[in-house]
């Protein structure tokens, strides 16, 4: 079942790259008592994700934060090493937290995966963005396959 507005985000553990190596990030720590914009995409270093999705959130990070958002996080079914390298490549710095969902466990718990086996990529997160306030989803924007509109930084900024 797909998560909906008003639902609590499921518990789980993601991974982020730190100066000391991969570090776990529980969803309770990520979302608890905070307002978070989480956006997900099919894969690091892929065309739309690298040319539009992440750059939009990096460019609008200050505007989003000014609307009361504590954390902007990017989620992908990749490992923490890839997400760390991609974050550096994209200039994410401290503006966008890069989160690895290596086994697609969290994306699956959200009900927001698709089968990309035909492209050699296995199970991947759908392209989406959500606003989460203290663990509760207040906005959820899931893209149609191949689209990039409702999960963009500009669209999410208009919902804050």
Give 135-153 pLDDT, tens digit per residue: 999 999 999 888 888 999 9
Mean pLDDT over each residue of the chain, to the nearest integer: 91
Cβ atoms of residues 148 and 51 within 8 Å? no
Domains defined for the chain, CATH in brackets = 13-157 (3.40.30.10)
- Smallest CA-to-CA distance from 50 within 17, 74, 18 is with 74
Which residue in 38, 49, 98, 156 is the catalytic one? Answer: 49
- Smallest CA-to-CA distance from 29 within 109, 133, 137, 135 is with 135
* Whether pTM exceeds 0.85: yes
126: pLDDT confidence band, cut at 50, 70 and 90? confident
- The pLDDT tens digits of the residues spanning 38-96 come to 999 887 777 666 667 888 999 999 999 999 999 999 999 999 999 999 899 989 999 99
65: left (phi over 0), alpha (psi -120 to 50) or beta: alpha
Q: Percent of the chain beyond pLDDT 70?
A: 92
- The pLDDT tens digits of the residues spanning 111-123 come to 998 676 667 666 7
* Whether residue 49 lies in the annotated active site: yes
pLDDT of residue 7: 97
**In whole angstroms, what is the distance from residue 155 CA to residue 152 CA?**
5
């Amino acid at each position: 079942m797909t998560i909906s507005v008003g639902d609590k985000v499921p518990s789980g553990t993601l991974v982020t790259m730190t100066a000391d190596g991969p570090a776990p990030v529980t969803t309770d720590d990520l979302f608890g008592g905070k307002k978070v914009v989480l956006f997900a995409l099919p894969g690091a270093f892929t065309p739309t994700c690298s040319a539009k999705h992440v750059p939009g959130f990096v460019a609008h990070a200050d505007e989003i934060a000014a609307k009361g958002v504590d954390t902007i996080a990017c989620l992908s079914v990749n490992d923490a090493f890839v997400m760390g390298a991609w974050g550096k490549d994209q200039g994410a710095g401290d503006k966008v937290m890069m989160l690895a969902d290596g086994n697609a466990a969290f994306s699956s718990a959200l009900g927001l995966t698709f089968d990309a086996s035909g492209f050699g990529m296995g199970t991947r997160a759908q392209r989406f963005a959500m606003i989460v306030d203290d663990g509760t989803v207040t906005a959820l924007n899931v893209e149609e396959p191949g689209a990039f509109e409702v999960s963009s930084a500009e669209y999410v900024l208009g919902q804050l």
